């Protein structure tokens, strides 16, 4: 008699291997052979994982087109699921596309997967309250220089050399597939959730640098200095005010410390 552990390991490996020869621990009968019975689990395993990925990677499906199915098959074959919740199965897809042949020769696919996944994880990230402009206005003038913003923890920045956001948008809206574009310089896509809605947009270069500095915990004075280096002294403060208003209105600011 095989131990329970041995039986489970044999069946697991038979399902993962998609081997047509069933392990001796399982039986067939007149209704169906052991092989036909095993095949149901083998098929179901792959379908479930592929379906889970299709839910999370709409942009990638749009970008990869007909190659999407093959891409999913290869990922499923290379990556057994390790998390109890199938919702997390796609966590390794972008990294897989970074290194696996032939996808590594198309870096736009990994980039697209990274953006899709950022949107997916923002969707059910932890709830955080957000501040509005009236609350920030109550900060005394003498405290502004040392103010450090706390931004929403669900906020992510994805670097894109290609127009991945356009593919995601097309997928979300059911629009026709856009043409692939490679940018001259990388762009930064901001992903965040405002209350229950996930947003993504391209950051201007100065906003990206200020946002990254704010995420590092730099003071308001340091953020203004950064902007001054980009836009000159005179334009720095109006730009900082405009960015702050924008971030507050978008629900990106969770709080601050003085």
Partner 1 sequence: MAMTSNERPHSLPYLGYGLGLRVEHYEALLADPGRVEWLEIVSENYMVQGGLPLIWLDRFRERFPLVMHGVSLSIGSTDPLDEDYLSRLQALAQRVEPAWVSDHLCWTGVQGVNLHDLMPLPYTEEALEHVVSRVKRVQDTLKRRILLENVSSYVTFADSQLTEWEFLGAVAERADCLILLDINNVHVSAMNHGFSSMDYLRGIPAERVQQFHLAGYEQGEQLIIDTHDAPVSNAVWDLYVEAVRHFGRVSTMIERDDNFPPLAELRAELEHARALAEPLLQAAA
> What does the binding site for partner 1 look like in residue numbers (CB under 8 A)?
1-5, 7-9, 11-12, 15-16, 24-27, 29-32, 34, 36-38, 40-41, 44-45, 48-49, 52, 80-87, 123-128, 193, 196
State the Cα–Cα distance between residues 247 and 226, nearest whole angstrom: 17
By the 8 A CB rule, do 204 and 226 touch? Answer: no
Which C-beta is closer to partner 1: that of 110 or that of 252? Answer: 252
State the Cα–Cα distance between residues 103 and 16, nearest whole angstrom: 23
Which C-beta is closer to partner 1: that of 22 or that of 59? Answer: 22
Which C-beta is closer to partner 1: that of 16 or that of 213? Answer: 16
CB of 164 to partner 1, least distance (A): 22
Which C-beta is closer to partner 1: that of 83 or that of 173? Answer: 83
Closest CA to 227 of 219, 236, 218: 236
Which C-beta is closer to partner 1: that of 12 or that of 100? Answer: 12
> Residue 238 corresponds to which tokens in the numbers above?
């109006």
CB of 22 to partner 1, least distance (A): 8
Helix (H) or strand (E) holding 197: strand 197-203
Which C-beta is closer to partner 1: that of 128 or that of 225? Answer: 128
By the 8 A CB rule, do 22 and 34 touch? Answer: yes
> Residue 142 corresponds to which tokens in the numbers above?
């003498």
Full DSSP string of 170-206:
HHHHTPPPPPP-EEEEEEEEEEEEETTEEEEEEEPHH
Closest CA to 189 of 213, 207, 171: 207
């Amino acid at each position: 008699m095989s131990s329970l552990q041995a039986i489970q390991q044999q069946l697991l490996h038979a399902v993962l291997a998609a081997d047509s020869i069933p392990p001796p621990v399982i039986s067939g009968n007149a209704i169906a052979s052991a092989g036909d019975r095993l095949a149901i689990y083998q098929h179901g395993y792959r379908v479930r994982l592929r379906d889970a990925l299709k839910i999370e990677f709409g942009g990638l499906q749009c970008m990869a087109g007909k190659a999407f199915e093959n891409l999913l098959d290869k990922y499923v074959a290379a990556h057994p699921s390790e998390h109890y919740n199938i919702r997390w199965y796609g966590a390794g897809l972008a990294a897989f596309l970074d290194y696996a042949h032939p996808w590594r020769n198309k870096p736009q696919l990994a980039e697209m997967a990274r953006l899709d996944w950022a949107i997916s994880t923002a969707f059910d990230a932890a709830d955080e309250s957000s501040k509005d402009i009236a609350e920030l206005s109550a900060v005394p003038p003498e405290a502004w220089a040392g103010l450090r913003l706390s931004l929403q923890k669900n906020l992510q920045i994805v670097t894109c050399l290609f127009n991945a956001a356009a593919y995601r948008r097309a997928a979300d809206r059911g629009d026709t597939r856009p043409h692939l574009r490679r940018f001259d310089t990388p762009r930064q896509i901001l992903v965040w959730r405002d209350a229950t809605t996930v947003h993504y947009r391209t950051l201007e270069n100065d906003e990206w640098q200020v946002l990254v500095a704010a995420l590092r915990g730099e003071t308001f004075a340091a953020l203004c200095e950064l902007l001054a280096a980009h836009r000159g002294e005179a334009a720095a403060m109006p730009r900082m005010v405009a960015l702050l208003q924008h971030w507050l209105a978008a629900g990106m600011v969770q709080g601050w410390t003085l």
